[in-house]
Amino acid sequence: MSTRAGFRGRLKERGGRGDRSPLGTWFWDTDRVLLLLTFALIAVGLLAVAAASPASAVRYSGEQLKIAPLYYFWRQVMWVAVSLPVMIGISMLPANVARRAAVIGAAGFGAMLVLVLIPGVGVEVNGAKRWLGVSIAQFQPSEFLKPCFIVTVAWLLSLRSKEDGLPLTAITFAMTATVAGLLMLQPDFGQTIVFSTVWMVLLMIAGTPIRTLAAFFAMAPVGVGAAYLFYGTARARIDAFLFRDPNEAEGAHFQTDAAHATLTSGGWTGTGPGAGTVKFGLPEAHTDYIFSVIGEEFGLIACMVIAVLFLAIVVRVFVKMLDEQDSFKLLAASGLATQFGVQAMVSMAVNTGLAPSKGMTLPFISYGGSSMIALSIGMGLLLAFTRRNPFLLRSPYVTRWGAAQ
């Protein structure tokens, strides 16, 4: 019997690990630690939305609309029920199929980013035009564009080894600058930072020359300065962050101050689930400032645990990619993990008063249909690109690259 036939026989004798059905293959090949950490964040998010829902229901109830205390919680349960099958389904895709789907998605959602700005097409909420659709069907194209854009940039940069003559750095720069310009017109300064940061990280991982990287890094303060001079929303938030008036009860800095007060009011262990009161004065308690609600009701220790969960996901991906031989998978997985970590870091920085208000949700924890589904797409892609068969990698019949000897 040949070694290949003998190896296949061993797989069949293994029972569970030898199950090569689609579901069995997915279960054994998927990074179950990464999946468990994601489920933990989703569970924390449901608890956090349940805690924040009464405060948001009171704030947004009016004479014509009375919102039930747990209205946002039950809607979040619905979004989680929709998102989990999406995440699992995408994570089961072969890497090449996932890549093609992401590239097509980047083109589609990029076009939608333009439609958002067209009068009568885009939906304006709180002075920002970021949504498409009507009523419950409204969604934010930029949220869905993020994972697709990252995978597309990763694919382009991975072509260096095959198409050395293509100006891939310039192409990805033009793509990122176009997306950033469209986002600033909405306006959405926070998402612009995420897209730009992930692009820079991908350039570094892809081995871009130091002089080129230095030139791009030098452009960062120029971009911030231009935003301050010509972008009124950014100027107002930066001024409010740097030059606060303690005698002003309301103003551009009010949200950040309210978030910090809510976050620290519970001390180390919190007031207990449902016992928080400061949260009722917090705007967007269930979305942008949900981290502060967690601090009040579950304590600063719980906030630190959540920060560790986010860090664990990012570190897990980067450590796992250390021996990855496929440059595309390396770039795509690293970019998606970076996007996840940067978004979490910015959201927590705003809640703790370390950064100006940017309207950034906390991944898998903040309330929101667009955010939850888009993050599930991103995590599904990340799971697809980090899938490996642990039994095959340990087998003496298989090389490091998975080829039978």
pLDDT attached to residue 259 = 86
pLDDT attached to residue 20 = 62
The more confidently predicted of residues 251 and 335 is 335
The more confidently predicted of residues 136 and 153 is 153
Query: Over 50: is that where the pLDDT of 396 sits?
Result: no
Residues 255/260/264/270 CA torsion (nearest 10 deg): 40
pLDDT mean over 343-347 = 93
Query: Over 50: is that where the pLDDT of 404 sits?
Result: no
Question: Quick check: helix, strand or coil at residue 129?
Answer: strand
pLDDT attached to residue 125 = 75
Question: Quick check: helix, strand or coil at residue 329?
Answer: helix
Q: Which residue from 226, 204, 223, 92 is spatially nearest to 157, judged by alpha carbons?
A: 204
Query: Over 50: is that where the pLDDT of 14 sits?
Result: no
Rounded distance between C-alpha atoms, residue 189 and residue 183, angstroms: 7
pLDDT mean over 365-372 = 91
**Are 132 and 363 spatial neighbours (Cβ–Cβ below 8 Å)?**
no
CA 202 vs. chain centroid, Å, equals 16
Rounded distance between C-alpha atoms, residue 11 and residue 146, angstroms: 39
pLDDT attached to residue 135 = 66
Span of 116-120, 189-193, 236-240, 396-400 with lowest mean pLDDT: 396-400
pLDDT attached to residue 194 = 92
- Give per-residue pLDDT as tens, 242-291: 666 555 545 556 777 788 888 988 889 989 888 888 888 888 888 989 99
Query: Over 60: is that where the pLDDT of 5 sits?
Result: no
Query: Over 90: is that where the pLDDT of 3 sits?
Result: no
> What's this model's pTM, rounded to 2 decimal places?
0.85
- Give per-residue pLDDT as tens, 61-86: 765 567 888 999 999 999 999 999 99
Percent of the chain surpassing pLDDT 90: 46
CA distances from 203 to 33, 149, 199, 208 (A): 28, 14, 6, 6
- Give per-residue pLDDT as tens, 168-208: 889 999 999 999 989 988 888 888 889 999 999 999 998 88
pLDDT attached to residue 285 = 87
pLDDT attached to residue 238 = 67
pLDDT attached to residue 233 = 64
Query: Over 80: is that where the pLDDT of 395 sits?
Result: no
